[in-house]
Structures are given as structure tokens and as C-alpha cells.
Amino acid sequence: MVSPSHFAAFAALVFLMVVVPGPSVLFTVSRALTVGRRDALITVLGNAAGVYTQVVAIAFGLGAIVQASATVFTVIKLAGAAYLVYLGVQAVRHRRKLSEALASAAPAPRGRTLAVLRDGFVVGFANPKSIVFLAAVLPQFVDHAAGRVPLQIIVLGIALPVIAVVSDSAWALVAGTARAWFARSPKRLELIGGTGGLVMIGLGAGLALNGRKD
């Protein structure tokens, strides 16, 4: 089984990776500004579930496949980029509806909640950078002599979604508070909705254009 020292060392490395603002933070902030604090927090949970699914997949060989195949890496990268661009376009298209949505006191229907979870999950699972990071780093913290390597990877990987949920939720709450100020003016809210959408489109474009060249 995983030793406490190995788990602590991996958790410390993950903490450093997560707390430094990067694409996931920008995505979370953009979601908080475009769809609100509640949906941003749900997105964070979906994103964490998607990333942990990567951990499970890596435990059973996906990481090795991604590292060995430029084609698989590119497919995953482009799928994640395309979905980010899609979410950004949707945010820009529906920016004028933000005031109406914010003014409504009715709770979001269950289907809406599941859709938001799905959005976060897809973006989290289709992030090739985290797959490469996990595939390269996780095996270094595994005690091969102890056996049950897949189980060790799954246990170690718990640190990533837990830390990510705490950190990204904090960003979502801060951005959600800023959105409340913008909500006092329909024009300001429309502007921030469009800007958040453009940020997501930019993230998707950047993801598609960067990465391995082999």
C-alpha cells in the first residue's frame, strides 16, 4: 500500500501545481463570471471528477499510451480544445440572458445541474497536460516492490481532485462575488459574460495550438 511519506510528497507536488493560476483557474473564473457562483462550484466538482478519471485510466495503462502515441495525445488535446471553444461560444451567444438568469429566484432544474457537471467533467478528462503530468509523475511515487501498482496510483491520485476542489472553489467564490457587482448593471453583466466566453475560446485555441510536435 502507499506509504504516508510517498502520499505526502505527491500531495505537496500537486498542491504546488494546482495553486499556481493556470488554465483550470481561468476556466473556473470564466464559468463563475458567465454562469454564476453556484454553477461554477458544480463545474469544479465535475472537473475534479474528470481529472480523477484520468488517474484511474492512467492506473490501467492510458498514460503509457498517451506518452507513446502522438496521435492519441493530439485527439485528446483537440477534443478538449473544441469543447472549451464550444462553451465559450455559448457564453458569448447568451451573454444578454445573464441578467434574466441572475434575477430568477427559481432553483436550477436537475437536468441543468447534470449538464454543468458534464461540462466540467469533459474539460477535466480531456485535459492532455494533466494526463502527461500524471503519467510522468505518478509512477515515481509508487512502491513497485509492494505490488498492486494500479491501486497505489488510484490512492495517490486522490490528492489531486481534493486539492483542486478546494483551490478552484476558492477562485469560483471570489469570481462569483465580483460577478455580483457586475450584476448591478445589465450592460456590465453582458460585458463580463462576453469577456468570460472569449477567455474560454482563447483557452481552447491555445490548447489546440500548443503541445507536442512529434
Taking residues 17-38, what's their average pLDDT?
A: 75
How far is the C-alpha of 27 from the C-alpha of 35, rounded, in Å? 12
| Pair 131, 62: CB distance under 8 Å | yes
Contact partners, residue 191, CB within 8 Å, separation at least 6? 95, 182
Among 43, 78, 86, residue whose Cα is nearest residue 176: 43
Q: Could you give the CA distance from residue 166 to residue 185 in angstroms, rounded to a whole number?
A: 30
pTM of the entire structure?
A: 0.68
Residue 100 or residue 204, greater confidence = 204
4 HSE (CA, 13 A, CB side): 0
pLDDT digits 0-9 by tens, 32-62: 877 778 888 999 999 999 999 989 988 887 6
3-state secondary structure of 147: coil
188 class by beta-carbon count within 10 Å (0-12 exposed, 13-18 middle, 19+ buried): middle
Residue spans of the domains in the chain: they are 4-13+23-209
Q: What mean pLDDT, rounded, does the chain reach?
A: 76
Chain centroid to Cα 202, Å, comes to 15
Residue range 85-96: average pLDDT? 71
Find out whether 135 and 67 touch, Cβ atoms under 8 Å. Answer: yes
**What confidence category does residue 196 fall into, taking pLDDT thresholds of 50, 70 and 90?**
low
| DSSP output for 56-120 | HHHHTTHHHHHHH-HHHHHHHHHHHHHHHHHHHHHHHHTGGGHHHHHH--SPPPHHHHHHHHHHH
